[in-house]
Amino acid sequence: MPSNAFLLDAAAKATMLLAAGWLVTLALRRHAAAARYFTWICALGAALAVPVISALAPRWNVQLPATATVAAAPALAGAEPVSDIGATAPINARRPIAWMALIWLAGALIALMRIALGNVRLAMALRRAPEIRVPEWIAARDAAAKAIGLRHAVTLRRSSESDVPLTGGLFSLSVALPESCDEWDEARRRVVLLHELTHARRRDPLVWLLARIAVAAYWFHPLAWLAAGGLRREQERSCDDAVLRAGTVQSDYAQHLVDLARSAMNAATYPAALGMAATSDLEDRVHALLDTRARRDSPSRRACSIAAAALIAVIVPLAAVHAQESPATSLSGTVYDASGAVVPNVLVLLKSGANHQEAARASAAGEYSFSGVPAGSYTLQVRAPGFAEFQKTVVLPAGQLNITLDLGQVTEALEVVGKGPRPKESGTPHRIRVGGNVQATKLVSMTKPVYPPVAQAAGVEGTVMLRAVISTSGDLLGLSVLNQSVDPELASAAMDAVKQWHYQPTLLNGEPVEVVTTIAVTFRLEK
């Protein structure tokens, strides 16, 4: 089963190809329908071929910078207290289930089953239809085949299950005619055979099958449905043009088409077949037939070969290109003090920008580890009581990095106060607002997170780094997860509990103010 990344890559490339096909058909709207039909064949064929070539051809990886998208708390002035719960081992993220691939596979299988059933149903209907051996019909078929340059055999059948002429079959082609065909005059017999045998000459049933398979592969993509509809529309119009090129008068052919559509009751019975007089596009087809300025020529084989070669030259490199983010890396090491002894249980932060950080708590042996982190530049930070803050820029992948914490500086402040001369009073005294009185926030109500049972059973541990704003009422606003590599179930459990916490707000000169807080919630399993 393909991965999510493979599906996204294929969908992006198909979008480019199908959008290009749509733009080309718009540019060719004044040209013949056959040119637009060929364009849609190329677009859908390329979209269908790209995933196959991507899987088989050598890969050409284009590296993209790692990105981190997280929800950030509002950047407000104030302190940034840090709360942390528990002790942790290194983060152990589980591989996510490829839900996108499973959903795609289910949709594609349903679409392919419908296509298979439709083709089986059509094949059985054609087998039940008796072959027409009437000399008049055989002579008319041979004359029409000669007029359009058809060189392979096509069987004529009379079917009681369809009211319109249709062409079906993939390799052994048949033209099924309704039972009322015996009442047709020579002119109608000729135009019907010219139209249907043109489908047979171009192998249109096989083209239509491949187009439906492309839609099944990209069933989620609106452009695929647009392309298939455009191909089917231009398929019929280009056959109409072939009938006119064979010498049929425009108004006469339009009348035959309208009469056939009027008598059709089961025109859409067989989606796998190419019905001549389907009513969904009849009005536009008649307008196109009566347009005396419309071009009705067909692209030459040389032009088609050049276009196909150019398309192959584009899709092969496109299929080989694979955009990928920087691979996930790991970082580990041991935290020591200045004497060389390990420092246990300290919180180690790995920051990238203001709104993304990973966290791991050192073990009892002072060892820390980060895994599943995208490559890039980070700031490694350790804060521990009694030690100076450690901060260092690291570029991942870095592998092993030990940390040595220096002792914190000890400072003393002494103020000596003496009596000076009394200042002279001059004018009205000014009142000075004295501030600097800060009363720190305090957690007054805490709901402890519940360890998710699924994560426990899977042996998942980790530290969830949360950021929020403590409001002036003591509630948490804008709660968000800062680290990406943490298990999503742990993150959800931490969020569910922390959002219920309540604080005594920070007071500045007696007035409550908002401050940003970072909360580290650690999930650890007893060994």
Q: Tens place of pLDDT for every residue, the chain, 527 residues? A: 567 778 888 899 999 999 999 999 999 999 999 999 999 999 999 999 999 988 887 766 555 554 433 333 333 333 444 455 544 334 344 444 577 888 999 999 999 999 999 999 999 999 999 999 999 999 999 999 999 999 888 999 999 888 889 999 888 899 999 988 988 999 999 999 999 999 999 999 999 999 999 999 999 999 999 999 999 999 999 999 999 999 999 999 999 989 888 877 654 467 778 888 766 788 888 999 999 889 999 888 899 999 999 999 998 888 887 765 556 678 889 999 877 888 888 889 888 876 677 888 888 888 998 877 777 788 888 988 878 889 888 887 777 889 988 876 544 444 554 455 666 655 555 554 444 445 677 888 888 899 999 888 888 888 888 888 898 888 988 888 888 778 888 899 999 999 999 998 888 667 888 888 888 888 888 86
For 85, the enclosing helix (H) or strand (E) is strand 82-85
Q: Assess contact for 456 and 515: CB atoms under 8 A.
A: no
Residues 135 and 278 placed together within one structural domain of the fold: yes
Q: Is residue 496 domain-resident?
A: no
Q: Nearest to residue 94, comparing CAs of 459, 453, 463, 496?
A: 459
Q: Is residue 399 domain-resident?
A: yes
Beta-bridge partner residues of 82: 518
Q: Nearest to residue 368, comparing CAs of 379, 380, 358, 360?
A: 360
Residues 232 and 287 placed together within one structural domain of the fold: yes
Query: Domain boundary residue among 405, 437, 457?
Result: 405
Residues 264 and 369 placed together within one structural domain of the fold: no
The pLDDT value recorded for residue 69 is 35
- According to DSSP, the β-strands at 174-178 and 166-168 are antiparallel
Residues 283 and 347 placed together within one structural domain of the fold: no
Q: Is residue 462 domain-resident?
A: no
* Ramachandran angles phi, psi of 518, nearest 5°: -115, 130
What is the residue type of 24? V
Query: Domain boundary residue among 290, 320, 350?
Result: 320
Residues 312 and 334 placed together within one structural domain of the fold: no
Residues 21 and 112 placed together within one structural domain of the fold: yes
Look at the chain and count its residues: 527
Query: Which residues constitute the domain of residue 330?
Result: 325-405
The CATH number covering residue 375 comes to 2.60.40.10
The pLDDT value recorded for residue 468 is 87
What are the CB-based long-range contacts (under 8 Å, 24+) for 479-484?
Answer: 479/73, 480/70, 480/71, 480/72, 480/73, 481/70, 481/71, 482/70, 482/355, 482/356, 482/357, 482/518, 483/91, 483/356, 483/357, 483/358, 483/359, 484/68, 484/70, 484/356, 484/358, 484/373, 484/374
- According to DSSP, the β-strands at 390-396 and 376-382 are antiparallel
Q: Is residue 311 domain-resident?
A: yes
Beta-bridge partner residues of 373: 329
The pLDDT value recorded for residue 180 is 87
Looking at the chain, the number of H-run helices and the number of E-run strands are 12, 23
Q: Assess contact for 474 and 442: CB atoms under 8 A.
A: no
Residues 131 and 276 placed together within one structural domain of the fold: yes
The pLDDT value recorded for residue 68 is 38
Q: How far apart are the first and last CA of the chain?
A: 36
Q: Is residue 120 domain-resident?
A: yes
Q: Assess contact for 201 and 150: CB atoms under 8 A.
A: yes
Q: Is residue 472 domain-resident?
A: no
Number of domains in the chain: 2
Cα–Cα dist 20/1, whole Å: 28
Count the alpha carbons within 13 Å of 84 in the hemisphere toward its beta carbon. Answer: 21
Query: Domain boundary residue among 272, 296, 320?
Result: 320
Residues 283 and 349 placed together within one structural domain of the fold: no
Residues 257 and 341 placed together within one structural domain of the fold: no
Cα–Cα dist 466/489, whole Å: 14
Residues 111 and 186 placed together within one structural domain of the fold: yes
Cα–Cα dist 349/378, whole Å: 10
DSSP string, 190-256: HHHHHHHHHHHHTTHHHHHHHHHHHHHHTTT-HHHHHHHHHHHHHHHHHHHHHHHHTT--HHHHHHH
Residues 172 and 294 placed together within one structural domain of the fold: yes
Q: Is residue 156 domain-resident?
A: yes
The pLDDT value recorded for residue 91 is 39
Output the pTM of the full model. 0.61
The pLDDT value recorded for residue 99 is 79
Residues 400 and 291 placed together within one structural domain of the fold: no
Q: Is residue 513 domain-resident?
A: no
